[in-house]
């Protein structure tokens, strides 16, 4: 259950102000059918979490316990640093004529493949030697992190996203750094 809750919380937080949220907001404005867009986004999140969880379990069988601790610490450290880095503009896929379901699913999958949330899912699965709970937590957390963008769209831009993103990035970076120092036996 710890793997579920940790992954749920972390993957939801790292979506704050992320390019995936911007894409979801843009697609929410473009398509009048948010249900189909939400299904497409949920499918993409599920596939990414599945790949991360299964990959993490495989990696977890190859490396030692100390390396697993470092892998988890680095996933958090780089996720936090990624939240502090400036965002590149997001392509809102204006030329895609595939409808809300496929545009949401394929666009988000392409944008998010190999992103920080997927590495958090993989590192949690590797550390826990379980793929089911990190998969479910990663899927639910990512969906929860992206749904406000689909629902509130341009109203989300009025919220203080940047300060929240910086605060969350600092906290996650500090936790990752502390865990990395612990993995090296320095703390």
Total residues belonging to the chain? 187
Q: Which residues of the chain have pLDDT under 70?
A: 156-158
| Whether 183 contacts 70, CB under 8 Å | yes
Residue-level pLDDT at 157: 65
Task: Write out the two tokens for 144.
Answer: 């929860």
CB 120 within 8 A of CB 76: yes
Q: Cα separation of 9 and 5, whole Å?
A: 6
Q: What was the pLDDT predicted at 50?
A: 96
pTM exceeds 0.85: yes
Look at residue 92 in the predicted model and tell me its pLDDT: 73
The total number of structural domains in the chain stands at 1
**Whole-number percent of the chain with pLDDT over 70:** 98
Q: Residue 83 is part of which domain span? A: 2-183
Q: Could you tell me the CA-to-CA distances from 79 to 39, 102, 161 in Å, in that order? A: 26, 27, 17
User: In this predicted structure, what is the pLDDT of residue 158?
Assistant: 67
| pLDDT on residue 124 | 94
Predicted pLDDT of residue 100: 87
Q: How far apart are CA 13 and CA 44, in angstroms?
A: 18
The Cα angle at residue 5 between residues 82 and 22, in degrees rounded to 5: 40
In this structure, what DSSP letter does residue 90 have? P
Pair 128, 134: CB distance under 8 Å: yes
Q: What distance in Å separates the CA atoms of residue 55 and residue 141, rounded to the nearest whole number?
A: 18
């Amino acid at each position: 259950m710890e793997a579920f809750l940790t992954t749920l919380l972390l993957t939801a937080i790292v979506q704050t102000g992320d390019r995936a949220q911007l894409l979801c907001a843009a697609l929410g404005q473009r398509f009048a059918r948010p249900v189909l867009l939400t299904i497409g986004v949920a499918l993409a999140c599920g596939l990414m979490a599945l790949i991360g969880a299964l990959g993490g379990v495989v990696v977890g069988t190859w490396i030692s316990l100390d390396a697993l601790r470092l892998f988890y610490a680095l996933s958090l450290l780089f996720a936090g640093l990624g939240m502090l880095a400036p965002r590149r503009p997001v392509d809102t896929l204006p030329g895609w004529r595939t409808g809300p379901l496929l545009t949401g699913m394929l666009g988000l999958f392409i944008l998010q493949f190999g992103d920080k949330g997927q590495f958090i899912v993989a590192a949690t699965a590797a550390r826990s030697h379980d793929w089911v709970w990190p998969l479910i937590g990663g899927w639910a957390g990512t969906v929860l992190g992206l749904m406000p963008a689909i629902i509130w769209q341009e109203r989300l831009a009025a919220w203080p996203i940047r300060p929240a993103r910086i605060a969350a990035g600092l906290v996650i970076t500090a936790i990752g750094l502390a865990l990395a120092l612990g993995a090296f036996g320095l703390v």
